[in-house]
Amino acid sequence: MVTRGFAGKAGNFDQSMRLPPGQHVVADFPVLTAGPTPRIKTEDWSFTLKDGIRPVKSWNWTEFNALPQTRMTRDIHCVTTWSKFDTAWEGVLVDDILGDAGIEPPTGFTFAHSYDGYTTNVPTADLVVGKAMVALRYEGKPIPPDHGGPSRLLVPHLYFWKSAKWINGLQFTQKDELGFWELRGYHRYGDPWREQRYTND
């Protein structure tokens, strides 16, 4: 239905090749989280890779920073309809985490865990082959706490709630478990180009 009197905002439509359906471009960086911002000191930080309930390997901050660091500049898309172009991140590719742990992905499903208890599910195939990283820096600086610092998952080709803030682990699961927002009305997969925002989209 065309809305009476609505012409749209100049500029957004020009970007349509780059902008998924229903999104608009922002210059700032909105913050949306379900709870208070956790303050995690890097000296207390650790990251654990698990296969089911079995821990495969853990890293402290120094060890994790010693892994190969990769830069990734990507457009990001929030389910609340804002998109931000050319966000520059640096961190450790999931491929390099697996390489350092000396394993191949044991299952097709991965669950990301965060310090605040947040979880999200991502198919393993969407995390490997250079598609995703655990980011440690944003625009050349440590990630601010309200944007997920010290470490956040970056899966830029899916809606941004999949890029879990304050990440402290990845866990391979036998089946596709649902995470925090996926249990609360949001889509299991979350592809912005197919506008998979809500459970039945």
**What is the binding site for other proteins (CB under 8 A)?**
1-9, 12-13, 16, 21-22, 24, 26-38, 80-81, 116-117, 144, 146-147, 180-181, 183-185, 197-198, 200-201
Q: Within 13 Å of residue 11, how many CA atoms lie on the same side as its CB?
A: 5
Q: Write out the two tokens for 172.
A: 């391979």
In the bound state with other proteins, the residue whose beta carbon lies nearer, of 17 and 27, is 27
Nearest in space to 110 (alpha carbons), one of 185, 48, 176: 176
Q: Which amino acid is at 63?
A: E
In the bound state with other proteins, the residue whose beta carbon lies nearer, of 55 and 117, is 117
In the bound state with other proteins, the residue whose beta carbon lies nearer, of 131 and 152, is 152
Least Å distance, CB 87 to other proteins, is 12
Least Å distance, CB 64 to other proteins, is 24
Q: What is the residue whose two structure tokens read 């599910």?
A: 121
Least Å distance, CB 146 to other proteins, is 6
In the bound state with other proteins, the residue whose beta carbon lies nearer, of 13 and 62, is 13
- Sign for the CA dihedral angle at 22, 166, 89, 145 comes to positive
Let me know: does 100 contact 67? Beta carbons within 8 Å: yes
- Report the chain's C-alpha Rg in angstroms: 17
Least Å distance, CB 90 to other proteins, is 20
In the bound state with other proteins, the residue whose beta carbon lies nearer, of 6 and 102, is 6
CB neighbour list of residue 169: distance below 8 Å, 6 or more residues apart: 47, 48, 49, 50, 112, 113
Least Å distance, CB 133 to other proteins, is 22
Q: What is the residue whose two structure tokens read 């944007």?
A: 147
